[in-house]
Structures are given as structure tokens and as C-alpha cells.
């Protein structure tokens, strides 16, 4: 029969059992703190939208997208990836890039046609949720070819949120947007189109291949990044317009490249299968 009595070390000498806390290394904590900060930015964006501070609300969502790209890289660099962090990141993405943009777009313009505007906002949020759920399911697929890492299946939620706010960028830029019911209808169609791209299986470039910079191009890349940051700080809406249009323009290129790589893979598998077949009999 086992003795379940505690030792003096476990009770601390005063008869009370001491609680044993597991210490979590900071390399696990830091990426999750960045994710929580992104959630705060998304929720604050909703608050700013309710206060009609639409430009700042859009910037907060863009900053949340920057942190979303940073937390995963921090986790990999610090060897701090965990299942908890992955689940927290997924929840943060839905808040930041599904709920917050939907509220922002509705409060900004879509409310002028309440029924269809709210419908578009709901569809956008649902599309973001479906996109994130599919990503979580497909991330552990061991049968994917290596080149699949170059692409996302459907538009990523952060990119979808940034792209959906394109009318806001135009409105607060030097270009401006005309007002009127017809333009609200165009915005609704545009938001539904972005939602379709997120929920669809259309391939998009992932950007995961962007890693180390060759030494001979380091100064050029550093200068380019510095100029980009300065331009973003001085002309944020104009830079976001350029980035969004450039990203959308890359979509046909991504589709063609994905189709070519897929065809090459199928052709290679067909060749292997033919080589493994036994020779025909006499």
C-alpha cells in the first residue's frame, strides 16, 4: 500500500502543501505578448471606428498585420513556437482581420445602405473565419509538395483586411473619392469580392521565401526599407494604395505560377508511375 503523505520539503515545514509552478521560458512568452498587443490594436480600431476616427482605425489594423507577421517570426527565431501560441494567433487574426475591418467598413460607409452594407460586413467576417479555419487544418498536411510553401490557399486574412480597406485609403489620400449611393454599392461589391478571394482556393504568393538577403544587396535592401518607412510615415494612405494595388496585380502571376508548378509535379508523378510499371509481356 502506497504512502500518500507529503514530505517536509513538499509541505514547507508548516504542514501546508506548497504549490509547484512550472516556469515558462521567456522565449514562449514574448511571441504571445506580441499577439496580445495585436489583439489590443484590433479592438482599439473598433473603438476608433465608433468614434468616426476612420483613418487612425485603418492604421491600427495595418499595425496589427505587421505584428501578426512579427510574432510568428519571433517564435521561430526564439524556438518558442507552441500549440497555445498557434491557437492564440488564430483567435487574434479573426478579431484583427475579420471583426475589426468589418466594423470599420460598416461604420465608415456601408451603413449608408444598412441591409446590404451589414450583409457585406458579415460575409467578410465569415470569410475571414473560414480562411483561418482552413489554414489551421491544412498546415499539418504532410503530403504537400515543397513548392506549396510559396503560396497561400486563398487570400490571407491580414492581406484581405488591408485590401478591403482600399476605399478608405483613397478617401483619405490626395486622390479622394466621390460620394453617393452608387459608390457605396461599388464598395459593397468590392468588399464581397475580397471576401470571395479569402474563402476561395485561389493561390496567392505567401512571401515566406523572403529570408536572408545576399551580402552584396544588403545596403540596397537597407536603403529601400528606410525609404519605404519614411514614405509610409509621410504619406501613409498613398503608400497603402500602392501596396494594395501591387498585391492585387500579383494575383494573376501567382495563379499562372501555381498552375505551372502543379502541372510539372503531376507530370513528374506520371513519369515515376510509368517507370514503376512492369514491362508489357510478350
DSSP one-letter string for 23-79: PPPHHHHHHHHHHHHHHHHHHHHHHHHHTT-HHHHHHHHHHHHHHHHHHHHHHHHTT
What pLDDT shows up at residue 274?
A: 47
Asked whether 150 and 209 are in contact (CB, 8 A), the reply is yes
Q: Please state, as a whole number, how many other Cβ atoms lie within 10 Å of the Cβ of residue 261.
A: 16
CA angle 93, 95, 100 (to 5 degrees): 120
What pLDDT shows up at residue 51?
A: 95
What pLDDT shows up at residue 58?
A: 95
Three-class DSSP category at 153: strand
Q: How far apart are CA 67 and CA 171, in angstroms?
A: 25
What pLDDT shows up at residue 112?
A: 93
Asked whether 110 and 121 are in contact (CB, 8 A), the reply is yes
Q: Give me the residue spans of the domains in the chain.
A: 25-264
Q: Give the residue among 53, 125, 76 at the shortest CA–CA distance from 96.
A: 125
What pLDDT shows up at residue 262?
A: 84
Asked whether 145 and 265 are in contact (CB, 8 A), the reply is yes
Asked whether 123 and 195 are in contact (CB, 8 A), the reply is yes
What pLDDT shows up at residue 193?
A: 96
- The parts of the chain modelled with pLDDT lower than 50 are 1-2, 4, 7-10, 272-276, 282
Q: Report residue 89 as a C-alpha cell.
A: 494567433
CA angle 82, 199, 74 (to 5 degrees): 25
Extract the runs of DSSP E, i.e. beta strands, from the chain.
151-153, 203-205
What pLDDT shows up at residue 204?
A: 87
Fold of 25-264: 1.20.120
Amino acid at each position: 500500500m502506497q504512502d500518500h503523505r507529503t514530505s517536509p520539503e513538499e509541505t514547507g515545514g508548516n504542514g501546508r502543501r506548497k504549490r509547484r509552478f512550472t516556469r515558462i521560458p521567456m522565449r514562449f512568452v514574448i511571441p504571445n505578448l506580441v499577439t496580445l498587443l495585436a489583439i489590443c490594436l484590433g479592438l482599439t480600431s473598433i473603438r476608433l471606428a465608433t468614434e468616426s476616427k476612420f483613418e487612425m482605425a485603418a492604421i491600427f489594423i495595418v499595425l496589427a498585420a505587421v505584428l501578426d507577421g512579427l510574432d510568428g517570426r519571433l517564435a521561430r527565431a526564439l524556438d518558442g513556437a507552441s500549440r497555445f501560441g498557434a491557437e492564440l494567433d488564430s483567435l487574434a487574426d479573426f478579431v484583427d482581420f475579420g471583426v475589426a475591418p468589418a466594423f470599420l467598413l460598416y461604420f465608415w460607409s456601408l451603413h449608408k445602405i444598412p441591409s446590404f452594407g451589414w450583409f457585406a460586413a458579415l460575409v467578410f467576417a465569415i470569410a475571414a473565419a473560414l480562411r483561418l479555419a482552413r489554414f489551421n487544418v491544412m498546415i499539418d498536411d504532410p503530403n504537400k509538395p515543397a513548392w506549396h510553401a510559396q503560396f497561400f490557399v486563398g487570400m490571407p486574412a491580414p492581406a484581405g483586411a488591408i485590401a478591403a480597406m482600399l476605399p478608405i485609403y483613397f478617401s483619405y489620400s490626395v486622390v479622394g473619392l466621390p460620394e453617393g449611393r452608387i459608390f457605396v454599392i461599388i464598395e459593397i461589391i468590392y468588399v464581397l469580392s475580397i471576401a470571395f478571394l479569402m474563402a476561395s482556393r485561389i493561390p496567392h504568393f505567401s512571401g515566406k521565401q523572403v529570408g536572408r538577403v545576399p551580402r552584396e544587396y544588403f545596403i540596397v535592401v537597407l536603403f529601400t526599407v528606410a525609404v519605404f518607412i519614411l514614405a509610409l510615415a509621410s504619406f501613409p494612405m498613398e503608400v497603402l494604395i500602392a501596396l494594395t494595388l501591387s498585391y492585387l496585380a500579383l494575383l494573376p502571376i501567382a495563379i499562372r505560377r501555381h498552375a505551372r508548378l502543379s502541372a510539372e509535379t503531376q507530370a513528374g508523378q506520371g513519369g515515376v508511375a510509368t517507370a514503376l510499371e512492369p514491362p508489357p509481356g510478350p
